[in-house]
Amino acid sequence: MSIEFDAPKPVANAQFVLKTVAEEMMRPNSRYFDEHEHEIPWDYIEFMHSAMKAMGGNSLAPREPSPSSPPPEDERHRDDGGKRPPIGYQLIAAQMEALSWGDVGLYHCLPGGGLGAAAVHAAGSPEQREKFLARFHGDKPTFAAMCITEAGAGSDNSAIRTRATLDEKTKEWVINGEKIFVTGGDKSFTEYEKLGRGFIVVWASIDPAAGRAGMRAFVVEGGTPGVRVVKLEHKMGIRVSDTAAISLVDARVPFENILGSPTVDQNPTGFKKAMATFDATRPLVAATGVGVARAAFEFLKERLAEREIHIRYGLPRQKLTSIERDVIDMEIMLKSAWLMVIKAVWMADNKKPNALEASMSKVRSGDICTKITQKVVEMLGPLGYSREFLAEKWMRDAKITDIYEGTGQINRLVVARQILGYSGAELR
């Protein structure tokens, strides 16, 4: 179920290390960190940071090389004339699927830029990318997060009420508002001794009357006065990953930390650039869902094999048992979701518009992830519902795939608009 390509040696080494980590470090600790919500897995974080650094840097955070820096070692001796397509997001998707198979909550604790870095990469200037993204390849594990959701602005991001006002005297942005459900918000903003200085990317309006045209994203450095984590959510799944509420009261941000134009015009480019973040990250979230679903599916097949129940592929459907039909249906769902992820990230790597494919992959993964994990619990019977197996945990972890980074309903709207050619105002 992993992406296969002719990978350079450092990439192949990374895949082997991540598979080993998923099997030997993440899976054995799944239950512990599920039962000890909000306990930070320092050993895992520090090990993964050291491992990724030894393999050439944090491949799960976009890298923006300096114009004067030499190409990576594995790119210097290419014999294809430089025509090989990039594999950045394809590689990240494969890594995220493998690590989520180990434990999707622990995956979310992996040092890296996450959505915050993705926003800088999508909407930031070359100078901003070099300034903020380089820290994820430094000496300390570092995190970043995206702050979008508010109490009155969930799926409708254009309803955000957080306000950013320019102080003309100091040339600083003054931000006021409150964000909720920020994945990794605590590790990204709170300064621990063991962490590098992370940041959060806060969506705010510089002109509420302008609607979406006034929407901008701001990089807010960890430890900025006036910003604090006010709550950590208790959740059904991915419990080791912190989900924070963050308050901003007269928080001052340097003028140059705005992603996009500091002025409002009739064309909402700031909002569109920020939204472009999701075209790259929604397929990656879908990849995590595939990883969870694969974990549950493979466990079910192992249990069936122990009882000498084997799937007779190739027979007409009417000659199969109910169990065989269910297993084959789950496998079809799993593979179809993964193929949709591959297409979406391939398009992202090759700079092709992929809003449709990104949302389709997210819808499909959220759908099959919940269905497969629920069916596995059902087929395992009482033991599947018990805490003896991880099946019930996978079912709880799975549901978030259909909710964050755009709910299944919202992504279905995006798909419909793309196919039918309607605007957001025309089809809601």
Active site residues: 405
Cα angle 361, 366, 368 (rounded to 5 degrees) comes to: 95
> Position 357: which residue type?
E
Cross-strand bridge partners of residue 182: 244
E-assigned strand segments in 140-183 = 144-147, 163-167, 172-183
> Which residues contact residue 161 at a Cβ distance below 8 angstroms, ignoring those fewer than 6 apart?
150, 152, 153, 177, 205, 208
User: CA-CA distance, 327 to 325, in Å (whole number)?
Assistant: 6
Strands 199-205 and 144-147: parallel
Contact 175, 248 (CB under 8 A): yes
Helix locations, 239-321, DSSP H = 269-306
User: CA-CA distance, 111 to 51, in Å (whole number)?
Assistant: 11
| E strand or H helix that includes residue 376 | helix 355-380
The answer to whether the Cα torsion of 369, 156, 284, 416 is positive or negative is positive
Q: 301: closest CA among 368, 391, 370?
A: 391
User: CA-CA distance, 317 to 320, in Å (whole number)?
Assistant: 5
User: CA-CA distance, 223 to 199, in Å (whole number)?
Assistant: 9
Contact 200, 190 (CB under 8 A): no
E-assigned strand segments in 121-226 = 144-147, 163-167, 172-183, 199-205, 215-221
> Position 16: which residue type?
F
Strands 258-259 and 215-221: antiparallel
Neighbour tally for 274: CB within 10 Å: 24
Cross-strand bridge partners of residue 294: none
